[in-house]
Structures are given as structure tokens and as C-alpha cells.
């Protein structure tokens, strides 16, 4: 290990001292709250967004694919994020109240230093049979959590910058940001499973909807008992609580129907009903009503496209009745009985459900009363605001797909991957578990059951 890498933990500990000593404000004057944002703070925002939003997730993906660029990229990220911490506490001009963002900034030093120490230890290749295997597991867990750390901290930064989520507004913020982030995470995981996760899914012995249904069930149970506070029931309390009931009742049905590797459209139906309910949600401002309506329509469209994908689309997989036939002109992304143009349309369609989930999640996160009141006071209409959110959704989904493609074409996957014409193929066993929902053909249903055995 190079001496520079070995000295990084010491450097970060030294940098942590001025961060921890930085004074945060419990009260602000009008001048402090509305002072101009200086160049140093803008540099802090851009640098940390680039490091935690792009650099660290890219390094994590390169680590998963065992690329030799993993260590240099993560090391550069550690240095840059340390510089970002200094910039964040050296700016002048506008001041901010103490809050979750500043607290999280200090907490993040723990996983940063832990990951550095684990990385250095693993490079030494000692204690190969006793300690090292556990260090590898811990290093992987911490590394995979980095995108979550970054997402949460960037949200906290946005909230701090806008002065949102204080006092009575905290509950609404938690609901919007947690559920919105959940939809984005759902879309991200769906994109991974649809594009490169077939082997893992088949190895698990469960269809994708089995996992979906469990998450929806557990989420619904929590929401059923946490959405109502106090003695009086408001309209929103009733709507949120019954949505929780809808999720766990529908989720249980989804679990039952998706056993033995069967596909089911129940999770998609729950998404559609949730979207419809949110599109009818009563709001105080007209702009809020419009934003919630578009969020609901987007979520409903995600559910509809998911039903189409499950029921009628068989991308990347040959039909179970037709054995795989090697063809120089057609990859496994080509339907066994179809043409290359149909296969290309299929691959394109499969991006719709995850992208719409990402867009819906971002719209919901941007729909708090405080945010929309600020937009309303600034004179912006709902059309402009919604288009801004969709533009951000395109950026986020571009990053998601780019990282998936990077994993499929880097490191140990480079020799196995075929990314020609936008396809993503990894070396996989010949046995295929995936099929569309049975349409009454007993032969197809029998074959699916045989695959489970």
C-alpha cells in the first residue's frame, strides 16, 4: 500500500477537528437568513454532489465488478469529500440553522474512516483464514451503503438550504421524503433485476413479485399504525391509514399468488390504486393539487406498464417451450419466435416501469406544502415545476442505467458482457425461470412448475 493511502485516515481525522468545532446557529437574524450564497458554498454543493452522487456510486460498482480502478477512484473520493467538508464550513454569507445535515456530516466520518481502514487492511492480505473473510463482508456492507449515505445527506442539504421541515412541518416532510425515496429505490432495484439480475433472481427460487409483495406488506403494516396521531381523524389520516391496509392486504395476496416462481400483477395493481388515491388527495393550494395529481398519474402509469411487462413482454428470455438456439444474428435479448426489431422494442419498453417509478418518487418528494408554497410565492406555475422534476428524473435514471452498464462491462464482467446494441448480457446458466403470466396453456404452466423443482 502506498504511503499516501496509509496516511489518508490520519488526514481525515485531522480534517474532522475543524468540522466538529464549527459553530452552528440556533437562531438567525433576517440578514443572516437572506444573505447571498457565496462561491465557496456553491463549490461545496457541487463538489459534494459530484462525489456522493457520482464518484462514490461509480467506485462501489467497480468494487462489485472487481475492477482495478475501484481503489484509486474511492481514494480520490475520500480526498475530495474531505475538501468538501472544509468548504462547507468555511463559507461566508448566508447562514443556516443547525440541523440534520450538519449532524450527518459528522456521523459520516465513521463509515469513511472505517472503509479506509478496512480497504488498507484487505490490501495487506494478512489473517487470510480467520479475520480477513469477516473484513471482506464488512467492507462490502459499508461500501454498498455509500449511495444511501450520500442520498440521505444530499436530501438533508437540500432541506437545510430551503429552510424546510421544522416544527409542525416535520411529519409531512418525513412522509414525502421517505415514501418518495422508497419509490426511487423501488425503480432502481427493478431496473437492476430486469437488466442484470436474472441469475440472482432465479437462484433465489422466487419471482420478482414475491419480493415486491413482502416489501409492500411490511411497509403497509408500518403505515397502518403510524399515519394517525392524536385523537381526531383528519381526511389525510384516514386516506394514509387505509393505504397502509391496502398494501398489507394486497401484499399478502401477492405473496400467496407468487409462490413457486409464479408471476402476479398484484403489486402493480397496488401501485395503480396508490397512484389513483394520491391523485385525488385533498390539498390546500391549487399548485399542490396539480403536482399530486401528476404524481398519481405517473404512479398509475408505472403500474400499468408493469402489468404489460409481466403479462405480455418476454424480453431477454426465450419462451420456455422453445429451446435456446445459438444464432449469430440474434442475442438472448431476441425473442425466440420474434425478430430483432421486436426484441429491440421489448428492451426499450422494459425501461418504462422503473423510470416512471423514479419520476413518481421525485414528484412526491417535491410535493410538500413548504416547497410548493415557495414555488407559488415565486410565481412559478405547476407546469414548469413538474417539468423540472421530470428533467431531474431523466438525470437520475441516466445515472442508474449508466452504473448498471458499467457493472456489466467492467472488471470480471468485461469478458462475459455483451452490450452490443444497448443490450446487457452476463454469462448465465442455460435454464430459464422467467415467463409471462400463464394464459391458460397447461403445458406452459407445467413447465414453469418443473423449473421450480
- Based on the fold, state whether residues 350 and 412 are members of the same structural domain: yes
Locus of grid cell 416501469: 353
Cell numbers at residue 275, please?
Answer: 397512484
pLDDT at 142 exceeding the cut of 90:
yes
Task: Return the pLDDT at 23.
Answer: 54
Locus of grid cell 391496502: 246
Task: Return the pLDDT at 416.
Answer: 64
Task: Examine the fold and report which residue of 163, 182, 211 is the final residue of a domain before the chain moves on.
Answer: 163
- Based on the fold, state whether residues 155 and 173 are members of the same structural domain: no
pLDDT at 31 exceeding the cut of 70:
no
- Based on the fold, state whether residues 131 and 213 are members of the same structural domain: no
143-157 per-position pLDDT tens digit: 999 999 999 999 999
pLDDT at 446 exceeding the cut of 70:
no
Instruction: Show Cβ contacts of residue 250 under 8 Å, excluding neighbours closer than 6 positions.
Output: 213, 216, 220, 266, 267, 269, 270, 273
- Based on the fold, state whether residues 184 and 115 are members of the same structural domain: no
The better pLDDT of the pair 69, 32 is held by 69
390-440 per-position pLDDT tens digit: 999 999 999 999 999 999 888 888 876 555 444 455 554 444 444 444 444
Model confidence pTM above 0.75: yes
DSSP state of 234: P
User: pLDDT > 90: what percent of the chain?
Assistant: 38
- Based on the fold, state whether residues 277 and 360 are members of the same structural domain: yes
pLDDT at 272 exceeding the cut of 70:
yes
Task: Return the pLDDT at 340.
Answer: 58
Instruction: Give the Cα separation of 446 and 453 in Å (integer).
Output: 11
- Strand, helix or coil at 435? coil
Q: What share of the chain is helix, strand, coil (3-state, %, to 5)?
A: 70, 0, 30
User: pLDDT > 70: what percent of the chain?
Assistant: 76
Residue 311 CB burial class (10 angstroms; 0-12, 13-18, ≥19): middle
Q: How many domains does the chain have?
A: 2
Chain center to CA of 234: 31
pLDDT at 5 exceeding the cut of 50:
no
The better pLDDT of the pair 304, 7 is held by 304
Chain center to CA of 174: 17
Task: Return the pLDDT at 353.
Answer: 92
- Based on the fold, state whether residues 236 and 369 are members of the same structural domain: yes
- Based on the fold, state whether residues 322 and 257 are members of the same structural domain: yes
- Based on the fold, state whether residues 117 and 201 are members of the same structural domain: no
- Based on the fold, state whether residues 214 and 151 are members of the same structural domain: no
Q: Judge contact between 340 and 315, C-beta under 8 A.
A: no
57-109 per-position pLDDT tens digit: 999 999 999 999 999 999 999 999 999 988 888 878 777 777 889 889 889 98
Domain limits for position 365: 168-453
- Based on the fold, state whether residues 159 and 172 are members of the same structural domain: no
Task: Return the pLDDT at 49.
Answer: 93
User: Which contacts qualify for 416-421: CB closer than 8 Å, 24 or more apart?
Assistant: 418/331, 420/331, 421/331, 421/344
- Based on the fold, state whether residues 187 and 71 are members of the same structural domain: no
pLDDT at 449 exceeding the cut of 70:
no
- Based on the fold, state whether residues 315 and 174 are members of the same structural domain: yes
Amino acid at each position: 500500500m502506498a504511503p499516501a493511502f496509509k496516511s489518508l485516515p490520519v488526514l481525515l481525522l485531522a480534517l474532522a477537528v475543524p468540522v466538529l468545532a464549527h459553530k452552528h446557529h440556533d437562531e438567525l437574524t433576517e440578514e443572516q437568513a437572506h444573505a447571498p450564497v457565496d462561491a465557496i458554498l456553491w463549490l461545496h454543493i457541487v463538489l459534494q454532489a459530484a462525489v456522493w452522487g457520482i464518484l462514490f456510486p461509480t467506485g462501489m460498482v467497480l468494487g462489485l465488478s472487481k475492477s482495478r480502478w475501484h481503489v484509486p477512484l474511492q481514494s480520490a473520493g475520500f480526498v475530495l469529500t474531505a475538501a468538501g467538508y472544509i468548504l462547507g464550513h468555511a463559507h461566508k454569507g448566508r447562514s443556516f440553522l443547525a440541523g440534520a445535515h450538519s449532524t450527518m456530516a459528522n456521523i459520516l466520518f465513521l463509515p469513511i474512516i472505517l472503509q479506509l481502514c478496512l480497504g488498507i487492511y484487505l490490501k495487506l492480505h494478512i489473517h487470510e483464514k480467520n479475520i480477513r473473510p469477516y473484513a471482506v463482508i464488512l467492507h462490502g456492507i459499508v461500501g454498498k451503503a455509500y449511495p444511501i449515505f450520500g442520498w440521505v445527506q444530499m436530501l438533508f442539504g437540500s432541506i437545510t438550504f430551503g429552510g424546510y421541515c421544522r416544527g409542525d412541518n416535520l411529519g409531512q416532510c418525513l412522509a414525502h421524503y421517505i415514501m418518495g425515496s422508497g419509490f426511487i429505490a423501488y425503480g432502481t432495484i427493478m431496473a437492476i433485476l430486469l437488466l442484470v439480475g436474472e441469475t440472482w433472481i432465479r437462484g433465489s427460487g422466487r419471482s420478482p413479485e414475491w419480493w415486491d409483495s413482502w416489501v409492500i406488506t411490511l411497509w403497509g403494516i408500518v403505515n397502518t399504525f403510524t399515519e394517525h396521531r392524536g385523537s381526531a381523524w383528519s381526511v389525510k389520516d384516514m386516506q394514509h391509514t387505509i393505504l397502509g391496509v391496502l398494501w398489507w392486504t394486497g401484499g399478502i395476496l401477492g405473496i400467496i399468488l407468487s409462490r413457486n416462481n409464479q408471476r402476479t400483477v398484484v403489486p402493480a395493481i397496488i401501485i395503480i390504486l396508490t397512484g389513483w388515491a394520491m391523485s385525488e388527495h385533498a390539498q390546500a393550494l391549487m399548485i399542490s393539487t396539480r403536482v399530486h395529481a401528476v404524481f398519481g398519474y405517473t404512479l398509475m402509469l408505472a403500474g400499468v406498464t408493469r402489468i404489460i411487462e409481466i403479462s405480455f413482454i418476454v424480453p431477454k428470455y426465450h419462451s420456455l417451450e422453445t429451446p435456446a438456439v445459438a444464432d449469430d444474428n440474434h442475442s438472448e435479448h431476441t425473442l425466440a419466435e420474434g425478430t430483432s426489431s421486436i426484441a429491440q422494442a421489448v428492451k426499450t419498453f422494459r425501461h418504462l416501469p422503473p423510470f416512471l417509478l423514479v419520476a413518481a418518487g421525485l414528484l412526491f418528494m417535491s410535493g410538500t406544502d413548504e416547497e410548493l408554497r415557495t414555488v407559488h410565492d415565486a410565481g412559478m406555475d405547476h407546469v414548469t415545476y413538474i417539468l423540472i422534476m421530470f428533467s431531474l428524473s431523466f438525470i437520475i435514471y441516466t445515472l442508474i442505467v449508466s452504473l448498471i452498464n458499467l457493472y456489466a462491462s467492467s472488471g470480471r464482467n468485461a469478458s462475459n458482457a455483451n452490450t452490443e446494441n444497448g443490450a446487457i448480457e452476463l454469462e448465465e446458466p442455460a435454464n430459464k425461470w422467467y415467463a409471462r403470466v400463464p394464459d391458460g396453456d397447461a403445458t406452459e404452466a407445467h413447465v414453469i412448475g418443473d423449473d421450480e423443482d
